[in-house]
Amino acid sequence: DTGVSQDPRHKITKRGQNVTFRCDPISEHNRLYWYRQTLGQGPEFLTYFQNEAQLEKSRLLSDRFSAERPKGSFSTLEIQRTEQGDSAMYLCASNDRVPYNEQFFGPGTRLTVL
Amino acid sequence: GESVGLHLPTLSVQEGDNSIINCAYSNSASDYFIWYKQESGKGPQFIIDIRSNMDKRQGQRVTVLLNKTVKHLSLQIAATQPGDSAVYFCAEKKEGGKLIFGQGTELSVKP
């Protein structure tokens, strides 16, 4: 257990539905990252926050995706109008702003879109 | 564009042998690399890191070597154990702290 938790661990949904995932980082970490991982691939960066500010979004993050970190603590990732191609593991990670500090990953939320 | 890639998707070793997992990168300005281990159903777990001003770093049973001339890094695991079976990723840390991962090498340890 790294101290980063994600909920739910698994989500099965039908195409076209909206889903929301939650990440609780390590409490003193001010940076929070979201990644997506498909089978057999390495994680791909989606977006990151420093405190409550969303500082970067990947081209992978289409306009159906939105992420928030309203109080600079937990974060949510919402996918609207899910598509089968959204099926993946969604990973959250956190660390301090201090350079070269380890990034701790949560266990991920596995999304299956039917 | 930037990329980090691994040479082999799978590696099978005998328990007790040493394992070497390789990774190549494309950006000569890359500054910081990390090796992660990912077991089935879990998130990546930090193993060891190395900055570009170093060419070798050692941890417990693991060593990372960085060759900036050929843009190559490797992870060496000594006396490989069954618990080392996992997928190993090299990653490059970019501005803002985001990580760019390679595709991974699946290490299988035969008893």
> What are the pLDDT digits (tens) for B26-64?
888 888 999 999 999 899 999 999 999 999 999 999 999
Interface list for chain B against chain A, based on CB atoms closer than 8 Å: 32, 34, 36, 41-46, 49, 51, 89, 91, 93, 96-104
> What are the pLDDT digits (tens) for A49-95?
999 999 999 998 899 999 999 988 999 999 999 999 999 999 999 99
Contact assignment for B96 to A43 by CB distance below 8 Å: no
Distance from CA of A45 to the nearest CA of B (A): 7
Contact assignment for A91 to B99 by CB distance below 8 Å: no
Residue A34 tokens read as: 């979201």
pLDDT for res A35? 98
Quickly state the pLDDT bin for A100 (edges 50, 70, 90): low
Quickly state the pLDDT bin for B1 (edges 50, 70, 90): very low
Question: Is the pLDDT at A21 greater than 70, yes or no?
Answer: yes
Would you list the DSSP string of B51-106?
A: ETT-SEEE-SSEEEEEETTTTEEEEEESS--GGG-EEEEEEEE-GGG-EEE---EE
Query: Which residues of chain B neighbour A97 with C-beta distances below 8 Å?
Result: 97
Query: Could you tell me whether strands A44-50 and B19-25 are parallel, antiparallel, or unpaired per DSSP bridges?
Result: unpaired
**CA neighbours within 13 Å on the CB side: how many for B61?**
12
Residue B42 DSSP label = S
Question: Is the pLDDT at B96 greater than 90, yes or no?
Answer: no
Question: Is the pLDDT at B2 greater than 60, yes or no?
Answer: no
Mean per-residue pLDDT, B5-22: 89
pLDDT for res A1? 83
Distances (CA, A) of B46 to A6, A76, A104, A107, B91: 18, 24, 7, 13, 10
Mean per-residue pLDDT, B4-15: 84
Query: Which residues of chain A neighbour B43 with C-beta distances below 8 Å?
Result: 2, 4, 91, 93, 105-108
Percent of chain A, pLDDT > 90? Answer: 85
pLDDT for res A52? 94
Nearest to B51 by CA among A66, A99, A18: A99
pLDDT for res B103? 84
> What are the pLDDT digits (tens) for A29-56?
999 999 999 998 999 999 999 999 999 9
pLDDT for res B8? 77
Nearest to A103 by CA among B17, B34, B7: B34
Would you list the DSSP string of A26-94?
A: -TT--EEEEEEE-TTS--EEEEEEETTEEEEE-TT--TTEEEE-TTSS-EEEEESS--GGG-EEEEEEE
Quickly state the pLDDT bin for A99 (edges 50, 70, 90): low
Query: Which residues of chain B neighbour A95 with C-beta distances below 8 Å?
Result: 97
Question: Is the pLDDT at A98 greater than 90, yes or no?
Answer: no
Backbone Cα Rg of chain A: 13
Query: Which residues of chain A neighbour B36 with C-beta distances below 8 Å?
Result: 105
CA pair distance A52, A23, nearest whole angstrom = 13
User: Residue A56 is nearest to which of B45, B49, B98, comparing CB atoms?
Assistant: B98
How many CB pairs (< 8 A) connect A and B?
61
Nearest to A23 by CA among A101, A82, A78, A62: A78
Contact yes or no for B109/A48 (Cβ under 8 A):
no
